[in-house]
Structure 1
């Protein structure tokens, strides 16, 4: 009898500053659902994938998490919040790892303030998904699953 060890695909979702306030802050932009409720829905939708979640308001902690999982996970879905527009350090962390990173945004950043139209991270990421509400995360998971 042979035992086959099956490893689940591993995806890390990382949310940056102020995203711990989803469902509370600026509901007209971000909706009225908190992320933990949405995360439960994602895990039910993808039971054969290990979906880990991390949120921090601190740039260095986000970089540490990218380093921690960036060589062993199948994909990272990163919503760096406002750090998207300012953090060369996070862009460098993404460039330094092997795991593909997909940048996501709940809102359509191109319909918002001018400073949000530029991402410091996008050039280091596999792709960018923006403007589909929380569904942006599901679309990113689908991208990781497709390998494209």
Structure 2
């Protein structure tokens, strides 16, 4: 039985997981990651809604819709991490806890990947843990939500 619901959002090109640059992103597919998240959510008492889009406006629309439907957001904004003030603003506007996750260690990559607009509004940031980072993000989100419920 779930005590809270979490939206797991994925940005552009993550639909290519498993085939896109496996040396960086691994061989797991996005479907594998969705299963990993749902299994972790079940273990943690979280209901997980898992979505991916290459379109910035779709991610923002999903965030707006989630405003009254979920308790927290786990987001891998992918390339929008470094470019989208709009996604950061949407996350801030909905007022839910946010955990940002990245499969690769963005700080060991190109300099433009070192800045994240999303990090400024995130409660936690997980980078460089591969797809296991999604599990860590959900574990952190469960703790954040339990702590808020206890207050």
Q: Same fold (TM over 0.5)?
A: yes
Listed one character per residue, the Cα deviations across residues 93-114 of structure 1 (whole Å, up to 9, x for unaligned) are: 1110121111110000000000
Q: Deviations over 1:57-98 (max 9, x none)?
A: 000111111111133312111101110001111111111012
- Alpha-carbon spacing, 1:96–1:46, altered in 2? closer, same or farther (3 Å): closer
Gaps of 5+ in 1: 1-5
1:84 correspondence with 2:64 = no
Q: How many residues are aligned here?
A: 143
CA distance in 2 between partners of 1:123 and 1:45 (Å): 26
- Of Structure 1 and Structure 2, the greater helix share is in 2
Alignment match of 2:47 (pick from 47, 50, 58): 50
Q: How does 1:65-144 map to 2 (within 5 A)?
A: 65-144=62-141
In 1, are the aligned partners of 2:41 and 2:138 still within 8 Å (CA)? no
Instruction: Tell me, in whole angstroms, the C-alpha distance in 2 between the residues paired with 1:43 and 1:34.
Output: 14
Across the aligned residues of Structure 1 and Structure 2, the Cα RMSD in angstroms comes to 1.5
Separation in structure 1 between the aligned mates of residue 3 and residue 143 of structure 2, nearest angstrom: 15
Deviations 1:129-148 (A, max 9, x none): 10000011111101111116
The answer to whether the aligner puts 1:17 opposite 2:12 as a matched pair is yes
* Structure 2: segments with no counterpart, 5+ residues: none
**Preserved CA contact (<8 Å) 1:77 1:103:** yes
Work out which of the two has the higher radius of gyration on C-alpha atoms and give 1 or 2: 1
Give the deviation of 1:38 after TM superposition.
2.6
Query: Could you say which residue in structure 1 is the equivalent of 2:29?
Result: 34
